[in-house]
Structure 1
Amino acid sequence: MTIRVLICEDQELIRAGYVMVLNAQPDMVVVGEAADGPQALEAAARLRPDVVIMDIQMPLMDGIEVTRRIAGPGVPDAPKVLVVTTFNIDEYVYRALRAGASGFLLKDTPLAELVQGVRTVTQGDALLSPAVTKALIGRFADRLRPTVPTGPGPFDVLAPRELEVLRLMARGLANAEIAEELAITLQTVKTYVSRILTKLDLRDRVQAVVLAHRGGLMNDEP
């Protein structure tokens, strides 16, 4: 399968670098470029890429709003959005993830990691390292933890073991760390993660982590 990539970046030199590196990969092709938000919207609708590399700060419409419109809740057949930003762990990143991004990288990330990042989100995995998850959760813990609503909750469909795995995911543990924590195999963890995403109707691991915190699952965590 050839991964079709759309690059949304207002700096021409950066776009050119991404195009050169991604087109050199045997399993990727850059199908389009956009230099501002409206161009990004139009190109995403017209070209239907598999992955969109999205800058947060773009003219006319920022990358967060573009992400929400092309990959937000309720958008059918949404592409994967990989945010590449100069910002580190801050509210821009959190808002991008809530808007539907499948992960993010910093602009000073080596290009080899960008290439691998495109493959990672294409496979349905979230590009959000455990260290980044922990920092993100720590910084926004207060706003991520609402009062638990009464009545049936979104997590009632999960079995006890699946809830346990989801809590560990939301704490920022990678699959290998979850396997070690629960004394189970890595493949078993991957199976649990897949079931969790299916039962909760989520696209990827990032959405699961955000839902766990917004839905109050982690309220009893220290």
Structure 2
Amino acid sequence: MIRVLVVDDEALVRSGLRMILEASGEIAVVGEAGDGAAAVTAAARLRPHVVLMDVRMPGTDGLTAAAGILALPGPPKLIMLTTFDLDEYVHEALRLGAVGFLLKDTPPRDLAAAVRTVADGQAILSPAVTKRLISSFAGKAPSRAVSARERLAALTAREEDVIRAVARGLSNAEIGRQLRLTEATVKAHVSRVLAKLGLANRVQAAILVHDADL
């Protein structure tokens, strides 16, 4: 079972998320928290595999909580919940190491699938929404392009093909079909690229590619 901690300042939202996730039969919501401070405490105590957390909360906000949770020994995977008005707040959470974000109106089936994907070691990269997120982030600091290209220059041609596909939101299976590689080979390439570039996850890889304007 995938152990999940749900964090949102609205009890009704937390209850709804619990019902949706546990209906899958593969996910157990092991705890809930109504603010960021409680989320950090609960994550340290309950050791969930995944934390599903609202970005904006009163008191200790989601960004502060994200830093605290991701600083824990063997931290859980972190997914931020947000509306479509994406801002620097979400960008910073991804820079810290959050593995992605979900819109609050994500269909129930997709929500459970997203948690399973993250628990399996992949990031949430919805092509349409993530493109807007990363493009807005990159657009605010075009001077990062040179630095990003210098970092990507360390990659082999095949590794660059893989990271470009990651930036488009493709899964390992989809990348494999496109590049005529096995899924296991793609997974190995992705892991090697992340390690070589010093990145925590696929979202950060996608941001780097968009920073480089490739």
With structure 1 as the length reference, what TM-score do the two structures score?
A: 0.81
User: Which digits, 9 at most, give the CA deviation of each residue in 1:128-153, with x for residues without a partner?
Assistant: 1222232223222233542635xxx6
For 1:106 and 1:88, how far apart are their aligned partners in 2? 10
Q: Does 1:42 align with 2:41?
A: yes
Instruction: Give the structure with the larger helix fraction.
Output: 2
Partner amino acid, structure 1, of 2:146:
V
**Partner-residue secondary structure (3-state), 1:4:** strand
- Residue pair 2:97, 2:201 contacting (<8 A) in 1 also: no
C-alpha distance in 1 between matches for 2:26 and 2:176: 31
Once the two structures are superposed, the pairs formed by residues 26-175 of structure 1 within 5 Å of their partners are 26-71=25-70, 75-145=72-142, 146=144, 148=146, 154-155=151-152, 158-170=155-167, 172-175=168-171
Whether contact under 8 Å (1:67, 1:96) holds in the other structure is: yes
How far, CA to CA, are the matches of 2:25 and 2:177 in structure 1? 35
SS in 1 for 2:80: strand
Determine if contact 2:69/2:75 at 8 Å carries over to the other structure: yes
1:51 Cα deviation from its structure 2 partner: 0.4
- Structure 1 residues 28-57: Cα deviation after superposition (integer angstroms, max 9, x where no partner): 211111011111111111111110010011
Aligned-residue RMSD, C-alpha: 2.7
Among 197, 209, 213, which residue is 1:200 paired with?
Answer: 197
Which residue identity does 1:148 align to in structure 2? V
Does the CA-based 8 Å contact 1:89-1:132 persist in structure 2?
Answer: no
Counterpart-to-counterpart distance in 2, 1:155 and 1:203: 15
Unaligned ranges ≥5, structure 1: none
Q: Distance in 1 between matches of 2:8 and 2:61?
A: 10
User: Which secondary structure state, in structure 1, belongs to the residue aligned with residue 13 of structure 2?
Assistant: helix
Summarize deviations over 1:172-194 as a string: whole Å, max 9, x none: 2514665566x423624344223
Contact 2:134–2:206, Cα closer than 8 Å, also in 1: no
Normalized against structure 2, the TM-score is what? 0.84
Unaligned runs of 5+ in 2: none
Q: Distance in 2 between matches of 1:186 and 1:88?
A: 37
User: Aligned residue for 1:8?
Assistant: 7
How far, CA to CA, are the matches of 1:55 and 1:111 in structure 2?
Answer: 16
Structure 1 runs of 4+ with >6 Å offset: none
The residue type equivalent to 2:16 in the other structure is: G
Q: What SS does the corresponding residue of 2:146 show, helix, strand or coil?
A: coil
Relative distance call for 1:24 and 1:167 in structure 2 (3 A) is closer
